[in-house]
Structure 1
Amino acid sequence: MRKPVYSSIILKKGKEEPVLRKHPWIFSGAIAHSEGEVQAGDIVAVLSHDRKLLGYGLLEEGSIAVKMISFGTSPIEKDFWQKKFETAFSLRKALGLTNNRSTTAYRFINSEGDGMPGLVADYYNGVMVFQAQSTGMQILLHTLAESLLSVYPNHLRAIYSKPAEYTNYSVKNNNLNEGFLWGNAENVVIKENGFQFEVDFMKGQKTGFFLDQRENREMMRRYAIGRSVLNCFCYTGAFSVYAFGGGAIRVDSVDSSGTAIENCERNLQLNGFDAFPHSCIKADALKYLDDMKEEYDLIILDPPAFAKHSHQKANAVRAYRHINRLAIRKAKPGSFLFTFSCSQVIDSSLFSGIILSAAIEAEREVKLLHHLTQGPDHPVSIFHPEGEYLKGILLYIF
């Protein structure tokens, strides 16, 4: 640890209740004052107004001033992070992911869901990719890598740190902790439910692959037989690969990124589907939906987040309603629509309301078949419902 004795944050009277309920966020308005020298990224002791120890957290800049890493009075010992990793590993082992020949990639650390707010870690067939999304976790990256190696002695070829949104620490220190923290590797090929995908963990979006959709892709495969499929915002083309694996007679994949289109083509080829009836189309998905005829009977909408901050919510609501209205209106009778939102500020209730409005405006008969969410390797702390960021709905349109 960087400090044997931690400085303290004292909460205002009455502001300890969320911490006692194990919510990991402490907002700046809840803090009365600090004791000792503190700066962003420090581990701090969190005390109630009457100086009772509530736990420990990472001090951050912004409205969320502290992100809790432990609750209660237990001290932070030398093996603190190792125990966090062991707990995370135990869950993934219980899920059947740590020694699985047909699936060699999974989310290993899911931030607050694994008690490590500000850190995402994805395992790609021997390569662990860290994304530190807070100053505290960026500072700790080398310590975390050392702790990880004691948990994964025979599973890893490399540990790579990929920058997320820039924090003041990363700017001041010129991304000091970016790159390989241990070992070395190039792009990797993973398996997911038996399908193969090339992962560009250095340059790809997020950590390189959207692992949170694994179960949803598998569900979509079961509905794809004999259908013409449109995969909007295709990125790596994973949904497209699954569609052919499920017996689709045609798949069109649309993305505005030329790199995404290349990735889609490569992954179709990797799985032997490059000769199947398909098109990988570089186009704006909204315009494509607007211009197309009623030619698809299974549509996937998995757009990037339309809102990352609360002040963008209104625009995001309009964007989600518009794109879903187009898809519902243009779908052939008897179609399935898999539609998703990964915007954290759009909760499941609001997303359901958006889809209802889109269906009304599209003037189609629509049935709701399933509510969808992220896979179980992306756990959500029951004390932190905000961690359920991926919302999805399966619709039947007639």
Structure 2
Amino acid sequence: MLQLQARLIKSLSFSRLPPPAPSSSTSILQRVASSQPKGVAKVVLKKGKTQLFKNGSPMVYSGAVDRIIGRPPPKTGDIVLVADGTETPIGWGLYNSVSMFCVRLMQLEEEATRDPSCALDMENLLETRINAAIELRRGLGLPSDATNAYRLVNSEGDRLSGLIVDVFGDLAVVASSAAWVEKYKSQVEACISGIDEINHIHWRPSIEILKEEGMDASDLKELHPSTCPQRTKVLENGISYSISLEGQKTGFYADQRENRKFLSTISRGRKVLDICCYSGGFALNAAKGGAMSITGVDTSLPALELARENIALNYLDPEKISLLREDANEFMKGALSRNESWDVVIIDPPKLAPSRKILAILMYEKYAVLQSASGMYRNLNSLAMQITRRGGLLMTCSCSGAMTQSGMFLRTLQGAASMAGRKITVLRQSGAACDHPIDPSYPEGAYLSNILLRIL
């Protein structure tokens, strides 16, 4: 009898215990996905491919995918789980059925564990990431009384792959290069319009890239009629610029801001040549730095008109700054034939490296030999070295990601020096300004090289 009572008491005491808590090993993303009424498709990675993306690489290329679980299959712009070979989620992202990058990862499992409010919630994640980007720029002193042109969102560097936002005074220019950005256009605009100083938003889709994302170019043009003025004025390091929203990229190269400022410190009393001068960024800084004379060369008439406007905006002496419309190679060959030389030469050509598709191959199959781009850079820089006086300075740039990422640019410059019969020493190596952050797990985000050479 006593034994029966003891067993009864024991059973009753166990029955009063609370039910066991869910296993801590259960994926937070899997739990959130299971609660979705329509379910969430799962992109399962091939064996051996998981670690790259666990380490933070945001672009899941189609060759890394083993299978997709989910019926009906996901559509472009849909949220999907990304899982390892055991189908355990490692993160979530946005799917694209056409692009060579079939998923852009947005949040990893461990991040979702720390901050479940953003798990599989693109709107909340957008707001969180853009607010973090704003806070970062404020911490970098941007905007300021001297500078109101800066990059607010730098794609992978701000964990929003495919989205770039440049701020020019009270205007934000959105450069969209991913289908998901187009899908979430209204949410992106809502986040940006909440910034106190922003009064206008100009949407600038990268049409050629978006076509590769499966979007129709004609639809994009209809989706984004612009009501913004095509010109606006900005300040950078105390220098005024008129910029054209119809110009290259977003309209202004804020990435060279710190390099332009540095140039102003080495220009006093010197004869300066700015090759591929565009709207005069380096030339204006040389003038502000006290250069004796400046020559700017570009093939684009609209760019040179902007440069002339910027000279007037800053009340600079037009007699000291000559602007010439001419091909860079032809100008330098002519200068060489006339035995002309300059104390400081800047050459900042447009991108000469391979297309985006070739970059994708380079990204995942190591770097191929970039002979074509290397040859063009070598020839340009060889001419630039020959028209830089011995003992003078050459600031040479490459905005070709493949050249920067492969480490070939400096080797190419050494080859150019041999061609030119010159000896070079490296004085300074730089990249984009600090408001262009780079995620080390995505080194492909590093595209700009700015190298200062002494020519002997």
| Mapped contact 1:298–1:335 kept (Cα < 8 A) | yes
Q: CA 1:165/1:317 → structure 2, altered by over 3 Å: closer, same or farther?
A: farther
What amino acid is the match of 2:69? E
**Which secondary structure does the structure 1 equivalent of 2:151 belong to?**
strand
Q: Could you tell me which runs of 5 or more consecutive residues in structure 1 were left unpaired when the two chains were aligned.
A: none
What corresponds to 1:380 in structure 2? 438
Q: CA RMSD in A?
A: 1.9
TM-score (norm 2): 0.82
39-48 or 301-310, which moves further after superposition? 39-48
What corresponds to 2:261 in structure 1? 218
1:336 equivalenced with 2:393 (yes/no): yes
TM-score (norm 1): 0.93
1:196 equivalenced with 2:232 (yes/no): no
Aligned length in residues: 391
What corresponds to 1:64 in structure 2? 101
1:41 equivalenced with 2:77 (yes/no): yes
| Mapped contact 2:53–2:60 kept (Cα < 8 A) | yes
**Which secondary structure does the structure 2 equivalent of 1:374 belong to?**
coil
What amino acid is the match of 1:307? A
What corresponds to 1:353 in structure 2? 411
1:19 equivalenced with 2:53 (yes/no): yes
CA distance in 1, matches of 2:373, 2:37: 43
In our comparison, the structure showing a higher alpha carbon Rg is 2
Cα offset, 1:211, TM superposition? 0.4
Instruction: Write out aligned runs for 1:263-282 (5 A).
Output: 263-282=306-325
CA distance in 1, matches of 2:354, 2:315: 37
CA distance in 2, matches of 1:172, 1:38: 24
What amino acid is the match of 2:162? G
Question: Per-residue CA shift, 1:317-360, capped at 9, x if unaligned?
Answer: 10000000111112112211000101111125210100111111
| Mapped contact 1:11–1:30 kept (Cα < 8 A) | yes
**Which secondary structure does the structure 1 equivalent of 2:173 belong to?**
strand
Cα offset, 1:230, TM superposition? 0.8
**Which secondary structure does the structure 2 equivalent of 1:345 belong to?**
helix
| Mapped contact 2:170–2:198 kept (Cα < 8 A) | yes
Question: Per-residue CA shift, 1:33-62, capped at 9, x if unaligned?
Answer: 223322333332211121111112222333
Q: CA 1:284/1:49 → structure 2, altered by over 3 Å: closer, same or farther?
A: same
CA distance in 2, matches of 1:211, 1:129: 12
CA distance in 2, matches of 1:137, 1:17: 26
What corresponds to 1:298 in structure 2? 344
CA distance in 1, matches of 2:347, 2:248: 17
Q: CA 1:249/1:5 → structure 2, altered by over 3 Å: closer, same or farther?
A: farther
CA distance in 2, matches of 1:13, 1:367: 46
Match of 2:174 among 130, 148, 153: 130
Q: CA 1:176/1:51 → structure 2, altered by over 3 Å: closer, same or farther?
A: farther
CA distance in 2, matches of 1:242, 1:302: 15
What corresponds to 2:139 in structure 1? 94
Q: CA 1:109/1:194 → structure 2, altered by over 3 Å: closer, same or farther?
A: same
54-63 or 343-352, which moves further after superposition? 54-63
Q: CA 1:65/1:391 → structure 2, altered by over 3 Å: closer, same or farther?
A: same
Q: CA 1:268/1:110 → structure 2, altered by over 3 Å: closer, same or farther?
A: same
Q: Could you tell me which runs of 5 or more consecutive residues in structure 2 were left unpaired when the two chains were aligned.
A: 1-35, 113-118, 360-368
**Which secondary structure does the structure 2 equivalent of 1:90 belong to?**
helix
CA distance in 1, matches of 2:37, 2:385: 57
What amino acid is the match of 1:228? K
| Mapped contact 1:138–1:177 kept (Cα < 8 A) | no
CA distance in 2, matches of 1:59, 1:314: 34
CA distance in 1, matches of 2:341, 2:141: 39
| Mapped contact 2:299–2:326 kept (Cα < 8 A) | yes
Q: Which has the higher helix share?
A: 2
What amino acid is the match of 2:446? E
CA distance in 2, matches of 1:177, 1:120: 18
| Mapped contact 1:43–1:136 kept (Cα < 8 A) | no
1:368 equivalenced with 2:413 (yes/no): no
1:322 equivalenced with 2:379 (yes/no): yes
Cα offset, 1:7, TM superposition? 2.4
What amino acid is the match of 1:313? L
